[in-house]
Structure formats: C-alpha cells, structure tokens
Chains A and B, each alone.
Chain A
Amino acid sequence: MRIEVKMKHLIALFIAVSMSLSPAYSQKLGIGVRVGSQGVGADLSLALTSFLNVRAGGTSFSIALPEATIEDENVDVAFTGDASLMTASLLADLFPFRNGIRLTAGATYNNSSISTTGSPTDSYSVQSRTFTTQQIGSLTAELGYGSSIQPYVGIGFGNPARGGRIGLLFDAGVLLSGPPELTMTGTGMIAPTATENQETIQEALDGIEIFPVLSLGLSVRL
C-alpha cells in the first residue's frame, strides 16, 4: 500500500495565509491537522465571533488499490489502480453552545477520483485459435465527480481558534457530491466490455448521492 501526502504544500499555504492576516486577528487563529475519510489534511480557522469561525483547508491522499479480478467463463480480468483524494474547503463553523460542539456548512472543491486498469490474466483460446493478452486488450475505468464544487454539512467538536492551545478535532458530515461518474474505455478485443457495462455500473453508482466525511485531528491555537 502506498500513501502519499502532500503536507508540505498545505503547511506552506497555511503559514502564508497566517502571516498575511493582521495582528488583530492573529490571536483568534488556529490550525488543525486531520486524518479521515478525505485523507490527510490541514486547515486554518479564524474566529469571527465567539460562536462563528470560518475555516479554509485541504486534504490529499492517494493509495494503490488492491488487485481485484472479474472472473468470467472465458476471460478473467485483473484490475489494479489508484484512489486519489484531494479536496479544498471553505467552511463556516457555528458553535451554538459556546463550547467545542459545532455545526459546519460550506463548499468543498472535490477533485477525488479512482483510476483502474484491467488486463486479462491469460491468453484466450477458441478452438485452434489463441489470442494473446495483447490482442485481448485492456479496460480503463475512471471514477470522478461531474461537479467539483460540492456543499458540505456536518457536525463536529473542537475549536482551533479558541480555548486551549492544543485541542482535539472531530468532524462527521456529508459532501453532497451527487453520484460519482464512471468513464470506461477499452482497447483490443475486450473494448466492448466498457460500453456493455458502463451503464449498468453507473446505475448502481447513482444510488450514492453523498460522500461521507469522518475525521479526527489535533488543533493548535496561534
């Protein structure tokens, strides 16, 4: 399993944003680092009032997916690929009880995707005729979102910009992402498998209207 986190970019971004803010606000700033269903990320919170923060941040994560095989009577196809999660969010945190419990809403730029390539595991013979794996070809499936700006609603705990110097962060919510969109293409003899199945798989994917968000993290008040 391969994990790639582009943390240095995020940290550089937040430091730059922090330094650009005026001193008046610098004592109401906090940063958070998180790990969760959107990957690993960081954000910068600014307390506008005692019960309202604005938060900007991002996550990034990629992972090599384990190999999966579609077993067919005639041709077995092994899929490998990567899942890439990347988001950037602008959120409002509402603290109704003036403690760490909060309601969160906002917009997220979601550039997450899954990319897989399937190849036959063996040659394919019809009577005296044998087709090589190269002749059979390959399939490519890309999963992404048609709209990359997506609303977010959630609840959570923790206020990076107020309270203790170090804090715990927890978030649970949903990105109203709409169904992920599947694009399948193919080469060689197996190419029709893409068009044959894309609609069927998309119908199943159409039942997924949201992207669940769960994260845990730590915050530091600046």
Chain B
Amino acid sequence: MISNRSFAAASLLVFGLLFSSCDLSGFDTLEDKIAVALDIPGVATTYSFQLQDAATGEDLTSSARVVFSGSDAASIIDPIFFDNVEELEVGDGFFTVGLSDDRVPSGESLVQFSVYVEAAGYEATLQKVVTDNTGDYQVSVLMVAKSAPPTGVVSQSQQTGTATGGVTSQPIQVATQPDATTGGAASVALPAATQLTTASGTPLQGSLQTQVTYFNNQDPSSLTAFPGGLTNVSAQTQGQGQQTGGFVSGGFVSINITDQNGNQAANLSNSATVVMPVPANTINPETGNQVQAGDTIPLWSLEPASGEWVQEGTVTFESSAGKGRTEVGTELFVEFETPHFSWFNLDWFQYGAQNCSYRTPFQIELAGNDLQRTLLLRASRRGGGWSQQVYVNGRDTSHQFYNFPQFVSDIDVEVLYDGAVIGTGFASGPVCGQVLPIALTFPPVADLVDVDLTVAVECPADGGGTTIINPSYPFQIRKSGGQVWSGVSLEGGNTLIRGLEYNALYDFRGSFLDNGQPTTETRSFPINENTDPGGDITLIAGSRDGDLVTLRYRIQDNQSVCDNL
C-alpha cells in the first residue's frame, strides 16, 4: 500500500510530465520560418554567346549591338522572364538567351537563327546558329578587330576625300596590305563624281572613310571568322532560287565607305571595281585540283536584312602574272564590278542532296574527356576553303558536322582545351558519314575534386515569409587566368561540376537580362568546402568526402528576380 503522500507525488509526476515535457515554443515562430520552395524549370534550350576577338580569343570589352534574325528568331527569349528578345546591347562580350518552350529543336526540325553583331573597332559579323536538340549551348562569335585582325585577315582604312550631296570629290582607291599567304592585296576603286547613298537613300555628306577587309581562304583563323559562316547558308542562287546549303570559300571581302555622320554607303551611281587575291593552292572542289586561271567560282553578296547570300554572278580566276597585276601578288585573283557595297564572298555552293545531311554527318568521337570539360573542336579542309570551330559541351562524347558540301574532303581536326591542343585526327577523302575517333590527353593535374553545388535564391515576400527559388540556369566557370569558359547548368538549383582543382581559384559568371539588356555577374573564389563568398551569398553547408566537395549556398536576391515573381 502507498500513502496519500505517495499518491500525491505520483499525481504530480504525471501532471509534471504532461506540462514540462511539452515545449511548444518552437511553434511560436514556425509560421515565419516555413517557406515555399519552388524549382522553377529553366527553358529547355539556352544559348550563351561569347563575342570574342578572333585574334586573341578574349571576350570583347567594347559595347556591341546584337540583332537576331532568321526563321526561329521570334522564338528567342529572355531565359528568366521569357520575354521575346530581338536586339541587345552587350557590354562585356557575354550574354545568354533562351529558346521558347514551344519550339523544340530536333534533327527533323532544326532550330536556325542568325546573330548579327557590330561593335566599334570591329568588322561586323553574322553568326548562324543551328541546333538539333535541347540543351545549353555555348556559342562563340569571332569578331575581327580592324586594327589587329587574326592571321589570314588584312584590313585597310583611310580617308578618301569628301562627298557633297552624296557625290564624291575625287576617285577612291584603297588596297589592303599584302596578305601573308598570297602576297596580294584586295582593293576597291571608284571613279570621282560617284553618288553614294545609304540603303535608305540618304546621300553621304562630308569627309569619307573607306575600309577594305580581306579574309583569305587558307588560315583557319580567317575561315572561322568568316561573317555568316560556311554551313547552313541561306542563299539566293541564280537559276535554283532560294536554297540552304554550304560554301567552300575562295575568299571574302568587306567594303565600307562611311561619312563623318556614320552614314554607310550601300548604293553607287557608278560601279566600283573590286579585286581579290586567291591563293594558288586553293583546291577547286569541282575538279579536285588546284585552281587554275580560267576556273570559275560564284560571287555572292550579303543581303543584311535577311542574312541571305545573293548570287551576283560567276567570276573567273585570272593569273596575276599574265595580266601584269603585281599588286595582287604572284598568284591568282578575281576582279568584278559592283553597283553596291556589301560583304562579297567567292564560294562554291552545294545544297540539298549535295550536302552532308544530319543523317550522314561527319562525326567526331571524343575519348578521354572523363571530367566533362568544355572543348573547342576545330575542323579544317586541307587545301583551304572550309573550316569550322565549335565548342563541345563536356557531357557530349561526340560532335556531328552536317549541312556542309559533300565535296568538302580531307579534314584535319584539332581538339583544344584551354588553348592547348589535346587531340588531333585526320579524315581522308569525302567525310560524309565518316566517324573519326580522337583520343584526348589532358595535362595532369593534382588533387582534382568534383563539386556538388546547390544554390537557392531566397525571395522575401511582401507579406512576410520567404519563397525559395531553386533556379535552373546556365552559367560559366573557368580557372582564374585560364582562357576558356566552360558551360555549367543548374537544374533545380543543383549541378555536379567535374574535375576542379582543390583550393585553386575559379571564376564563375552568369548573364541576366536586366530590363531587357544583358548584365554579367562574375564571382571568383577558391574551390574547397569552406568557401564562403560573403555578401549576398551565404554558405549553408560545406564538406569534403574523398574527391567530392559538397557546397550549399543561399543567395539573397539582388537581380530583381524575386520582384518579378
């Protein structure tokens, strides 16, 4: 038996347990702590563009104007806010756009658009973009600096008198410096008293500046910077109408005459005479032999509004020696008359069934890229006339070239990582349908780790509380001081970055459209489990387990992203 006192004590114990074991204070602020977290799906296809100096490979630091055109240009959008994008002002050579979700690229339905870029001090250029699958693409647009062009490009700019009411006061004669490959110069000549008007009919007025830029067809650095590129070319042919195909180039020249107000001559009352040198070792794809005097090649000019090449006619190769034209070097040249200024291209053209289609592509198999590094792939035809350069996403173990002329043959392929060649190959003969395996050898690096990176954006809500956004978005990374940026994609706020050097400093950058214009955010920090960038980025958790570094960050929104949710 127990006493009343014992019973009272037991009762107290029960009620003591009842009340002391319930600490409900955690619920007082629970409502404020609970946050709705959302994975905002990114658009399925993004394009991160780098506007690069063709000679140095560096991103442009000057402002550039970017205009999208072509059949799928209407599907180009801001990848965060999904507004259509038609034109951009880019300040630092880097921007990212997306493809509307209702436009899904496939082999049967290629997504195609062109990017026209003009920047002070650079030749304007046109880059064709073609994709056959969803993904995050890295696109390089090579820009030729007028004052420091890459190998294979020569440019000359000079004062050439004045114009009054559009009428020139003196003859115009401008020639480039001799091209290192041919020893020849490209030139333009225009008689005095020629009326110059813009495309809209405005007469040029005041002092005139004439610029001639010549791209030879031998150097890959020249061919890969060809405005408009050589594949997926939209061309208005003579006789066959509009066709999409590929070029094998005999050379390219751009001619600009501008007045002191920046008006650019497009139409001439008298024809101008244009001369272009042609390297004698150019292989004529129609004969398979080196070009000879008397061979012919189509001449094309660019229709800027549509991005379409228009066939002007056919020109004939001439021997400089036979004509006594020492100014064009000792090899071959072409000469033609034109009543307008544009970009002029000498190209053999194949289209339709004459092109390598995506069903029979020239395929490069890459072995050894275990760390999924972004690679630069450069394919060049022996004998010149064709070269392609493309960044290959580290997750892709192969790349396919297609939509180029079947008579492109004997291709050298180089694979570069961070500016160094890490693999080469050669495909002889016609390459359509060929598979070229290339083994890659990377320079050895000690203490590589994979980084499991999680990023969440914290959006304070007006009425209190928080919304957590787990973004899906592409960004770029490179080892500080390195040359090549690699593309990385956050999916639901998470990504695995392979093969980074532990404790080495890396640069991260992303581009966002702020009020419709690109803004680049770049951060640098070392790769380890303790890295806390500070500021608006907070390290939530970091650890290293063997070769895996796990980092979880929370970002206080500073991109006005939250304000637009």
Contact = CB atoms under 8 A, between A and B. Distances in A.
A96 B7 CA distance: 8
A96 B6 contact: yes
Contact of A209 (B21, B38, B463): B21
B237 interface: no
A128 interface: yes
Interface in A44-93: 51, 70-75, 77
A77 B465 CA distance: 14
A191 interface: yes
B18 to A, nearest CB: 5
A172 interface: yes
A207 interface: yes
Contacts of B38: 74-75, 124, 136, 189-190, 192-193
Contact of A126 (B4, B26, B565): B565
B18 A103 contact: no
Contact of A127 (B4, B81, B456, B463): B81
Contact of A74 (B10, B17, B24, B565): B565
Given A51-B1, A128-B83, A174-B17, A208 B22 contact: yes
Contacts, number: 135
B35 A126 contact: no
Interface in A79-123: 94, 96-97, 101, 103
A197 B38 CA distance: 12
B44 to A, nearest CB: 13
Contacts of B565: 73-74, 126
A210 B20 CA distance: 9
Contact of A97 (B7, B36, B37, B493): B7
A192 B493 contact: yes
Interface stretch (A16-24, A27-35, A198-206): A198-206
Contacts of B17: 153, 174, 176, 210
B36 A72 contact: yes
Contacts of A196: 35, 37, 456, 468
A172 B461 CA distance: 44
A94 B3 CA distance: 12
B36 A193 contact: yes
A210 B26 CA distance: 15
Interface string B30-72: 1001111111110000000000000000000000000000000
A222 to B, nearest CB: 26
Contacts of B25: 207
B2 A74 contact: no
B26 A70 contact: no
A189 B471 CA distance: 11
Interface residues on B, range: 35 or more
A144 interface: no
At the interface, is chain B mostly helix, strand, loop or mixed?
mixed
Contacts of A204: 26-27, 30
Contacts of B120: none
A126 B25 CA distance: 37
A212 interface: yes
A196 to B, nearest CB: 4
A154 interface: yes
Nearest to B101: A129
A191 B456 CA distance: 14
B14 interface: yes
Given A73-B459, A192-B39, A200 B34 contact: yes
A126 B83 CA distance: 11
Contact of A174 (B21, B40, B465): B21
Nearest to B78: A127
A173 B10 CA distance: 11
A151 to B, nearest CB: 10
Nearest to B30: A204
A13 interface: no
B467 to A, nearest CB: 5
16 contacts: A51-B1, A73-B467, A74-B461, A75-B36, A96-B1, A96-B7, A155-B14, A174-B21, A188-B39, A190-B36, A192-B456, A192-B468, A193-B37, A195-B37, A203-B26, A212-B22
Given A193-B38, A193-B468, 7 more contacts: A73-B467, A128-B82, A129-B82, A153-B17, A191-B39, A197-B34, A207-B23
The 4 closest A-B pairs by CB, nearest first: A73-B461, A204-B26, A207-B23, A209-B21
